[in-house]
Structure 1
Amino acid sequence: MKRIVECIPNISEGRDLDLVWAIADRIAKVKGVKVLDIDPGFDANRTVITFVGTPDAVSKASFITVKEASELIDMRTHHGEHPRIGACDVLPFVPISGISMEETVALSRRVAKRIGTELDIPVYCYENSAFSALKRDLASCRAGEYEGLEDKLNNPIWKPDYGPDKFNAKSGATVVGARNFLVAFNVNLDTGSLKIAEEIAKNIRESGKVISMDNGEKVRIPGRLKNVKAIGWYMEQYKRAQVSMNLTNIDVTPVHIAYNEVVKLASEHGVKVTGSELVGMVPLRALMDAGRFFGNSGEIPENELVNIAVERLGLDDIRPFEPQEKILEYSLMRYFR
């Protein structure tokens, strides 16, 4: 079995497309690597790049990604809707075939060490690569964002796993780790109300929200869905608010369940859902499961299940959804040819 690793760097630039393509081009020039998807977001000012390859090739290309981002992106002038901590904000690795999670963790840590040593960028290891429970969660590593990073680095608890513990004003920090598949899924509302989007996000995400009791005590109320992270934001490009989610385990909370829950919560606010978008790539089974959920009972061909999912989730709402480009397995088929 061919040894294949997926890498999904999130870089803090989504408006200067020449810069984005320049970084993607450098990745594509690494022998043994195939760029599968480039997904820039204007309002988020962020681009998700997906590439696959052999472990050694992916290791090399991932380091080049961070190096190029650190040279081309200046965090001192960066603004966007998406939380971020650095020029290459997060660098996840996912084992695809012929390689274990343990091996992928080791690969990610080697890359993290090289980033810290050669580029003088503070690095936190997260998810399966984390050295402590505190840093396992991406949101914890990114808390305070770029603007709070200098103070964070002065806190001994948040000493980087690799690299200097001093503030790199131009490049910020990078979060690196090995993880399982994640689906980045945004649901579109027919309102521009950021408040409504944020309230839906608080009620849907696993971490829920903190409320103050009459006696002044603060209590955390869990959200409705497990393995879901969510925020609300307003996207000027689309002139509407979105509930932006990361589904970290689609066996626990599938795409269609997350979508329907947002629909229910939106209706409680007198708001309708117009559709959704998938950022980056999605595993085929996520759409197959959605197709079965929304479709009639009985045997339904694969392509029809995908079409049902695209229609019922409104994946064409903002821009055309191209299954051959956005479904991971279909893109991998081209890579393995």
Structure 2
Amino acid sequence: MKKLIECVPNFSEGVNMGIIKQITDEVESVDGVRLLNVDPGKATNRTVVTFVGEPEQVIEAAFRAIKKAGELIDMSKQKGEHPRMGATDVCPLIPIANISMEETAEYAVKLAKRVGEQLQIPAYLYEYAQPNKSRSNLSIIRAGEYESFFKKIKQPEWAPDFGPAENDVKRGATVIGARDFLVAYNVNLNTTSTRRANAIAFDVREAGRTMREGDPVTGNIVTDENGKPKSIPGSLKSVKAIGWYIEEYGIAQISMNLTNIEVTPVHMAFDEVCKKANERGIRVTGSELVGLIPLKAMLEAGKYFLRKQKRSVGVSESELVKIAIKSMGLDELGPFKPQERIIEYLLKDQADSKLIGLSLTGFADETASESPAPGGGSISAYLGVLGASLATMVANLSSHKKGWDSRWEEFSNWAEQGQRYKDELLGLVDKDTAAFNQIMEAFSLPKSTDDEKAARTASIQSATKYAIEVPFKVMEVAVESFGLIKAMVEGGNPNSVTDAGVAALCARSAVLGAFMNVKINASGYNDKAYVAKVLSKGAELENAAVEAEKEIIKMVNNKIA
């Protein structure tokens, strides 16, 4: 499995697209690195770039981009709403797959050392890459910004981790580190007042505001017994926020960094800002995502807003994303294209969903062609998809049935479960064809020498086992779906009982068809103990499917009689 890390450098240029293009060209010049997103902001005069790849390639791309940014951006002339200290203001590395935070931090240190020593740019470590926790917070490191760093860098406690202890007039300094996934998120307000936006930011951000006597702005600061200022915490954990005015849009915003979306997800941040803004006579008009967001965050947001409406959350992934976009007004300031803003969509290999991406006609034509795949295994999986989809439809219709309002959540839960069956079976449609192709590729390997023969045999056996496992999984999921189907026949919308009956027919056919594929592939696998176990369990699943279908069809016929 490849180790993957994400890099999200922030460059202090958001207006000149020619400069931005030259920087991102450096990223794309490194083989194995994939540029995912470029998000420039005119008012902030800042561009957030996102790319991903294996660690060595990523830090090479980051180094080239930092070098080019230093050549093209003059910090002595740079102005913008966002706090900044260098041409490359901050460059975080984020672990994505098969790599620990500790390893990621080591790569951040390696990059910072190279930037400091080879480019002679003062480089600071932050978050997990910084061993000194008194200077691991980005906002503390950046305090004073570029203009104050000429003096700050001379203070012994603020000497850079790498590079000269001299602020570079043109390039400034940079901060490099390793951190968890962060969502940069702005909420739009119907005001032009930075002061009022800041007040809301202080209401919600974890750090809150400094405690003062009397007037919260002009009153004397309240201190503790050690003379340190006391603070009033904000209402949201793991959230950093400031208010600013964006001339480009003619509105004020709450600019937030959600540092742990497991603690404070994006939908909760949005709703809390709405609440605090309303208390101050201000209305939220929408919001804006800077950079990328995980799919899970969008799906959770979609479900959250559907539940507030007392509507079923058992809808498709695309519908949940659409609900999230509309509910939070993510498209207010410009189009929000999920395929360009959701990280999983950008990383998705289209070859993994070739079949399910086809139209109904295209899938039928591909099946009917002279190609041996997709064959019975993929079709069996798709029959399971249709069965789960029909049962899910009945659950959704029941959830929204007039007069059944008290039961909406019950059917919503069933529909959500059905969506999980549907999605898992959809993935197995392409996996079954991929398994067949792996067997064909293994048989085509050379067999001239004893070593080649041994390698070929091992590959054939490995591919064969995978070709057993995929249709067996189809059987398991399709059998599980009978619980949903039966529940919909027993207590779902009576007008759709025949739909649930057809769902049972599809699920049974999926199980029986998949078992045929398990058996024929098992005949070519050498581990006979494994084969016996799989065939025994497969027979149990087949019998369970036949009995479940028989019971459900009898129930359906009794209801429609």
**Structure 2 length-normalised TM:** 0.59
1:312 to 327, 337, 354: 327
Show the counterpart of 2:198: 198
- Letter of the 2:275 partner, please give it: K
Show the counterpart of 1:270: 281
1:231 to 242, 246, 268: 242
Q: Is 1:201–1:230's contact at 8 Å kept on the other side of the alignment? A: yes
Question: Does structure 1 residue 332 correspond to structure 2 residue 347?
Answer: yes
Show the counterpart of 1:184: 184
Higher helix proportion (structure 1 or 2): 2
| Whole-Å separation in 2 of the counterparts to 1:221 and 1:336 | 52
- Number of residue-to-residue matches in the alignment: 337
Q: Which has the larger radius of gyration?
A: 2
Show the counterpart of 1:321: 336
C-alpha distance after superposition, 1:137-180 (max 9, x if no partner): 11011111111111111111111111111121111110000111
C-alpha distance after superposition, 1:275-331 (max 9, x if no partner): 001000001111111011001244222111111100000000000000000000000
For structure 1, the 5+ residue unaligned runs are none
Q: Which secondary structure state, in structure 2, belongs to the residue aligned with residue 165 of structure 1?
A: coil
| Whole-Å separation in 2 of the counterparts to 1:62 and 1:139 | 22
Show the counterpart of 2:222: 217
Show the counterpart of 1:255: 266
| Whole-Å separation in 2 of the counterparts to 1:334 and 1:115 | 33
| Whole-Å separation in 2 of the counterparts to 1:274 and 1:317 | 8
Q: Is 1:124–1:135's contact at 8 Å kept on the other side of the alignment? A: no
CA, structure 1 residues 149+16, in 2 after alignment: closer, same or farther (shift >3 Å)? same
- Letter of the 1:120 partner, please give it: Q
Show the counterpart of 2:162: 162
Give the fraction of aligned pairs with identical amino acids, expressed as a percent. Answer: 51
- Letter of the 2:95 partner, please give it: P
- Letter of the 2:246 partner, please give it: M
| Whole-Å separation in 2 of the counterparts to 1:57 and 1:104 | 13
| Whole-Å separation in 1 of the counterparts to 2:105 and 2:171 | 24
- Letter of the 1:76 partner, please give it: S
RCO comparison, higher one (Cα < 8 Å, 6+): 1
C-alpha distance after superposition, 1:234-281 (max 9, x if no partner): 000000000000000001000011001110111112111110010000
Using the TM superposition, give the Cα deviation of residue 335 of structure 1 relative to its aligned residue in structure 2, in angstroms. Answer: 8.6
In the TM superposition, what are the counterparts of 1:28-43 in structure 2 within 5 Å?
A: 28-43=28-43
Q: Is 2:26–2:64's contact at 8 Å kept on the other side of the alignment? A: yes
Q: Which secondary structure state, in structure 1, belongs to the residue aligned with residue 287 of structure 2?
A: strand
Q: Is 2:211–2:221's contact at 8 Å kept on the other side of the alignment? A: no
CA, structure 1 residues 86+97, in 2 after alignment: closer, same or farther (shift >3 Å)? same
| Whole-Å separation in 1 of the counterparts to 2:63 and 2:107 | 11
Q: Is 1:34–1:335's contact at 8 Å kept on the other side of the alignment? A: no
- Letter of the 1:308 partner, please give it: I
Show the counterpart of 1:285: 296
| Whole-Å separation in 2 of the counterparts to 1:99 and 1:205 | 31
C-alpha distance after superposition, 1:182-206 (max 9, x if no partner): 0000000011111111101111110
- Letter of the 2:189 partner, please give it: L
| Whole-Å separation in 1 of the counterparts to 2:350 and 2:22 | 21
Q: Which secondary structure state, in structure 2, belongs to the residue aligned with residue 115 of structure 1?
A: helix
CA, structure 1 residues 308+281, in 2 after alignment: closer, same or farther (shift >3 Å)? same
C-alpha distance after superposition, 1:12-48 (max 9, x if no partner): 0000011001111111111111100000000000000
| Whole-Å separation in 2 of the counterparts to 1:336 and 1:119 | 41
Q: Is 1:185–1:245's contact at 8 Å kept on the other side of the alignment? A: yes
CA, structure 1 residues 17+320, in 2 after alignment: closer, same or farther (shift >3 Å)? same
For structure 2, the 5+ residue unaligned runs are 215-219, 224-229, 353-561
Q: Which secondary structure state, in structure 2, belongs to the residue aligned with residue 49 of structure 1?
A: strand
Output the aligned Cα RMSD.
Answer: 1.3
Query: In terms of mean alpha carbon deviation, does 205-214 or 188-197 score higher?
Result: 205-214
Q: Is 1:281–1:326's contact at 8 Å kept on the other side of the alignment? A: yes
Q: Is 1:225–1:253's contact at 8 Å kept on the other side of the alignment? A: yes
Q: Is 2:127–2:179's contact at 8 Å kept on the other side of the alignment? A: yes
| Whole-Å separation in 2 of the counterparts to 1:173 and 1:200 | 31
C-alpha distance after superposition, 1:104-133 (max 9, x if no partner): 110010000000001111111001101211
Q: Which secondary structure state, in structure 2, belongs to the residue aligned with residue 44 of structure 1?
A: coil
| Whole-Å separation in 1 of the counterparts to 2:240 and 2:88 | 20
- Letter of the 1:54 partner, please give it: E
Q: Is 2:210–2:221's contact at 8 Å kept on the other side of the alignment? A: no
| Whole-Å separation in 1 of the counterparts to 2:39 and 2:4 | 21
